[in-house]
Amino acid sequence: MSWLTAALGVALILGVLFEAFETMLLPRRISRAFRATRFFYLQTWWVWTAVARFIGNPRRRSNFLSYFGPLSLLMLFSLWAAGLIAGFALLNWSLGTRLGGAVVDPAGLDVYGYFSGVTFFTLGYGDVTPSGRFGRFLAIVETGIGFGFIAVVIGYLPVLYQAFSRRETAINLFDARAGSPPTAGTLLVRNARYADLSLLTQLLSEWERWAAEILESQISFPVLSFFRSQHDNQSWVAALTVILDASAIVVTSVAGPVRNQAYLTFAMARHVAVDLCQAVSAPPVEPPEDRLPAVKLAALRASLHAAGLELDDGDCGARLAELRGMYEPFVHALSLRFLMPLPPVVFDGEPVDNWQTSAWMRRTRGFGQLRAAEPGDDHAD
């Protein structure tokens, strides 16, 4: 029985170390069917979202959901540390490691657990010490693992938040370019007013690189997918969807060299949507309703033409529907998984930007026309 307990302790130690290595150090998607870390996130997120659905106020619900990403990291690190401590406690207890100091011989599992925790966190109280060679060897091994684990965790967090900052910086740029929430129609109409397609080409090139960074960072650090944007009407899922919508419209409707860059951006962004669905076990789901019916597509083409953008004369509806079918089920699945709503393709009414509103000033009718916020107004982000 002692050998079975020792084997369980060793298996627990190796399992935790392997999970931590794959999660924090291995920069690629893990294709194994079962992973303890993935199971942890699927189950805790399900519970967290179930509680969130009982919160009626959208702002409070969004704030509640934003706590999950950082808090889940703390819970995961705590579980890993507890697993390592328990593994070494079982190993010492099963092998009968002799302990010196203020303990009763033979020591119980609770004493070995205390000794393992003190050793793992390198506290060095000295009230319980190993007195045999093997016990001292295990203490050295556990101390080294504990010290290395804490060092890796401390080094992991800055890397994670740097990747989050780069992602959000690009999303914030969408505010003045595409409105809040961003839409592909607003993005294309505002860029068409410059009458210079090179600006649109440059913008699509930048978002192609952003999509590639999203793929690399959120595959390497899956917890980033749960980190939400500063503003309730922005998210990485919405930004990815706008990129795909705008690229698909340019590929099927806009003439000129900008179409080549739009195709490259579309390919990269669609790759991101598919791979992230696989990474978070979210199978594609067809949207419940058409995000761009024929009437809105005709109105969008009219707006783009009025803004000075040269459009193809052919019927682009069928080609656009084909491209949308390649990505909409995937972004809709991501939207459902992370409770981040998809933006419309065309904004109904005049788009509002976050920079035009604040907790003290409200945007009214036109560009730059502001009034002081009155008591009872909802504060805009």
Please give the average per-residue pLDDT across 208-221, as a whole number.
91
| Amino acid, res. 69 | G
The Cα 17–Cα 80 span in angstroms is 8
Q: In this structure, are residues 142 and 149 in contact, taking their beta carbons and an 8 Å threshold?
A: no
**pLDDT digits 0-9 by tens, 141-155:** 999 999 999 898 888
pLDDT confidence of residue 286: 92
Domains of the chain (ranges plus CATH)?
Answer: 2-155 (1.10.287.70), 173-349 (no CATH)
Say whether pLDDT at 364 is over 70: no
Q: In this structure, are residues 360 and 379 in contact, taking their beta carbons and an 8 Å threshold?
A: no
End-to-end CA gap in the chain: 61
Q: In this structure, are residues 264 and 247 in contact, taking their beta carbons and an 8 Å threshold?
A: no
Helix (H) or strand (E) holding 42: helix 36-52
Mean pLDDT computed over every residue of the chain? 84
Distance from the Cα of residue 363 to its chain's centroid: 31
Q: In this structure, are residues 69 and 226 in contact, taking their beta carbons and an 8 Å threshold?
A: yes
**pTM of the complete model:** 0.84
**pLDDT digits 0-9 by tens, 232-245:** 888 999 999 999 99
Helix (H) or strand (E) holding 372: strand 370-372
Say whether pLDDT at 367 is over 70: no
Select the more confidently predicted residue: 291 or 100.
Answer: 291
Q: In this structure, are residues 286 and 329 in contact, taking their beta carbons and an 8 Å threshold?
A: yes
